[in-house]
Chain A
Amino acid sequence: MALLQIAEPGLCADPHQHRLAIGIDLGTTNSLVATVRSGSAAVLEDESGRALLPSVVRYMQDGSPQVGLEAQLRQSDDPHNTIVSVKRFMGRGLKDVQDAAATPYRFVDAPGMLRLETRAGVKSPVEVSADILKTLRGRAEAALGGELTGAVITVPAYFDDAQRQATKDAARLAGINVLRLLNEPTAAAIAYGLDNASQGTFCIFDLGGGTFDISILRLSQGIFEVVATNGDSKLGGDDFDERIYRWIVEQSGIADLSAGDARLLLSLARKAKEALTEKDETRITATLSSGTAVDRVLSAETFFMLTADLITKTLGPTRKALRDAGLGVDDIDGVVLVGGSTRMRHVRSAVAKFFQREPLTNLDPDQVVALGAAMQANMLAGNHRSDDWLLLDVIPLSLGLETMGGLVEKVIPRNATLPVTRAQDFTTFKDGQTAMSIHVLQGERELTGDCRSLARFELRGIPPMVAGAARIRVTFQVDADGLLSVSAHEQTSGVQATIEVKPSYGLGDDEIARMLQDSFTHAHHDMAARNLREQRVDGLRLLEATQAALDLDGWQLLSDTERVTIDRAMETLRVMLDGLDHVAIKRAADSLNRATAQFAARRMDASIQRALAGRRLEALEA
């Protein structure tokens, strides 16, 4: 018979109506799946009792994928067809991958996202991730005995729209209903129940197999705001293994290692590292293929010394994140350790020393993120009373669109809580304008060139009107996963255009950090640039309007001297528009305005006379 779980009071599901929800930590090195059973979050293991699924996919001759440990073991024999760390390629174009040459893959450039050539055909990172997710889904369904209602999948806080969309697409491809994408640091905070506090500022220190991420979260009124992120995408446990490996090679005086021996020593190095989290020394013994015997004792002290600079490398980004957030270590209310590498004692003590407090470590650092995701999934599936917590995420960088003169008008500001919808009205720039190009941008800077372009689309069929008469409402909608859709709607005619933003490629974490940093350092310069652009747009509009009026009835209403004054004022403005001085442009525009004041008044009179001419008084009064 079916096995039952204990439900929260009053929430017992009807037979066949179990709302099975899982949390997935789709990691660069390893992935996990967790669920909440009988009120407790737990990671689900495979048949062999392993919780971690290496995020490695190997494509076989028949096209079928082999996922996890088996694929990882064959990685060095079959490098072209064995994809590791595919997360680094999600939502990325070939030019975003700096070290493409250092990887064994045969990349294929494709619009939007790169592809990988394998013996099973050309695969996109989304398909490779979907194969990992399918494996996790299978494990979850076997463990829960039924079909899943949905999943919460975690993504790094710095993932941009393209990377989030790619993750969601991968889940859909794997047949998983995504309840929500959740930021990894936020998931870690939930797992520790930090969301039960009313407010606080927390630091999530995540040192994984190959990546290091530091995030600072601020919780207030049930909202986790990512205040700052930083990290090093090429720093992790593997670097520590490498140090031990090099030490063994040096100490034993071995030259010319075969690939097999190198692999053997590297795996022994890893075991030694793991042993040293408990013990003060460990012995490393091996017999190489050449017959050479290796027998060394590595002390914890030596290990700490060998890797001291790696620890220092984690503190740099940590300091930087704090600085970006404008916080000191005293402002941090709690530190959470995530990632298997934070088991190392010297990592823990360095973090404790830096923050002057003991970090939270009672949950398994490999599992924290998945556990938090499972708790969130359980709540979203309706198995938990939601009045306990309603958790919200925020948007990492402002979203806006381009206006005349290459300026960015922000529609949704950074750190707005998700989901969010904001609308703003725009109008036409020219008389008789019937189409409008809408350019969606993400970033903090004032000029389009400094922000990231996300999408462009056109609203056509605007009825011809004078400039400024059309009312075009542009609505930005960001769903709970941080994905954006933009729609434009001309209010008088009802024409409409909508776009789901699937940006061509994504922003890197360094890039987001840089963009944020830039927006502060360039604030002054940006304001000046904005002023200049605005004055230019106004000046151009004035010139065009004046020219149109002159062409129409200038010859009738103006004396020659008046005409010369106006022409001269227009010429001055034209010259100033090419310059960089926004004050001078403003001055020239003002003087043109003054020069045409008389002309404008006469035009007004003339048009009234035209309107009244030949009409009887009664007719006008009626």
Chain B
Amino acid sequence: MAITLSASAADRIQKFLAQRGKGIGLRLGVRTSGCSGMAYTLEFVDETLPDDLSFESCGVTVLIDPKSLTFLDGTELDFVREGLNEGFKFNNPNVKNTCGCGESFNV
């Protein structure tokens, strides 16, 4: 049971946190919305919540609520470049379908 970060993702997150000047880590989550049922959330964390599960990957603290973890278990978060665009990508083994744009999915 774990969430992992790729080296490039961890590197980026550390850089962003440093530039932001505050924050203790990264929060991953899932919420129900979007065209295929569920969508990922990706936010900075300024404070932990009581139920948070915490993972440590490549020196970055990753927080996730238990409910989201059931949909995200085994996910690797990667940072990629596609042409001029760059950003984070969820490699989630639980996903069955995604919508055309990939912004939402179901399991």
A interface list, Cβ under 8 A from B: 1-12, 14-16, 37-40, 44-47, 139, 142-145
User: Most chain-A CB neighbours within 10 Å: which of B34, B42, B84, B99?
Assistant: B84
Chain B, residue nearest A46 (CB): B84
Could you write out 5 A-B pairs with CB less than 8 Å apart?
A: A3-B86, A7-B42, A9-B27, A14-B39, A145-B82
In the assembled complex, the Cα of A6 lies from the Cα of B104 at a distance in Å of: 16
Residues of chain B with a CB closer than 8 A to A14's CB: 33-34, 39
B interface list, Cβ under 8 A from A: 12-13, 15-16, 19-20, 26-27, 29, 33-35, 39-46, 80, 82-90, 98-99, 101-104
Residues of chain B with a CB closer than 8 A to A143's CB: 84-86
CB distance from A217 to the nearest CB of B (A): 23
Residues of chain A with a CB closer than 8 A to B13's CB: 6
Contact B19 A4, beta carbon cutoff 8 Å? no
Contact B88 A39, beta carbon cutoff 8 Å? no
Q: A14-B34, A16-B103 are in contact. Are A7 and B40 (CB under 8 A)?
A: no
Residues of chain A with a CB closer than 8 A to B16's CB: 6, 38-40
Contact B84 A142, beta carbon cutoff 8 Å? yes
Contact A45 B84, beta carbon cutoff 8 Å? yes
Given A3-B88, A4-B88, A39-B20: 7 more A-B contacts, CB < 8 Å:
A5-B42, A6-B16, A7-B43, A7-B44, A15-B101, A15-B103, A37-B87
In the assembled complex, the Cα of A7 lies from the Cα of B102 at a distance in Å of: 18
The majority secondary structure among interface residues of chain B is strand
In the assembled complex, the Cα of A7 lies from the Cα of B87 at a distance in Å of: 12
In the assembled complex, the Cα of A6 lies from the Cα of B82 at a distance in Å of: 17
Contact A6 B88, beta carbon cutoff 8 Å? yes
Contact A6 B89, beta carbon cutoff 8 Å? no
Contact B89 A11, beta carbon cutoff 8 Å? no
CB distance from B85 to the nearest CB of A (A): 5
Contact A1 B41, beta carbon cutoff 8 Å? no
Q: A4-B89, A16-B103, A47-B84 are in contact. Are A39 and B42 (CB under 8 A)?
A: no
CB distance from B100 to the nearest CB of A (A): 10
- The 4 residue pairs across chains A and B that have the minimum distance between CB atoms: A1-B102, A3-B87, A15-B34, A15-B103
Q: A14-B34, A38-B12 are in contact. Are A6 and B43 (CB under 8 A)?
A: yes
Residues of chain B with a CB closer than 8 A to A1's CB: 89-90, 98, 101-103
Contact B87 A5, beta carbon cutoff 8 Å? yes
Chain B, residue nearest A38 (CB): B16
Chain A, residue nearest B105 (CB): A1
Interchain CB contact (< 8 A) of A15 among B19, B33, B86, B87? B33
Contact B84 A6, beta carbon cutoff 8 Å? no
Chain A, residue nearest B103 (CB): A15
In the assembled complex, the Cα of A262 lies from the Cα of B86 at a distance in Å of: 41
Residues of chain B with a CB closer than 8 A to A9's CB: 27, 43-46
Residues of chain B with a CB closer than 8 A to A11's CB: 43
In the assembled complex, the Cα of A44 lies from the Cα of B44 at a distance in Å of: 22
Contact A15 B20, beta carbon cutoff 8 Å? no
Interchain CB contact (< 8 A) of B104 among A15, A39, A139? A15
Residues of chain B with a CB closer than 8 A to A37's CB: 86-87
Residues of chain B with a CB closer than 8 A to A4's CB: 40, 42, 87-90
Interchain CB contact (< 8 A) of A144 among B12, B33, B42, B85? B85
Residues of chain A with a CB closer than 8 A to B40's CB: 4
Residues of chain B with a CB closer than 8 A to A2's CB: 87, 101-103
Contact A10 B34, beta carbon cutoff 8 Å? no
In the assembled complex, the Cα of A139 lies from the Cα of B45 at a distance in Å of: 31
Chain A, residue nearest B41 (CB): A12
Contact A15 B35, beta carbon cutoff 8 Å? yes
CB distance from B64 to the nearest CB of A (A): 14
Contact B101 A40, beta carbon cutoff 8 Å? no
CB distance from A388 to the nearest CB of B (A): 12
Chain B, residue nearest A18 (CB): B103
CB distance from A42 to the nearest CB of B (A): 9
Residues of chain B with a CB closer than 8 A to A16's CB: 34-35, 101, 103
Residues of chain A with a CB closer than 8 A to B89's CB: 1, 3-4
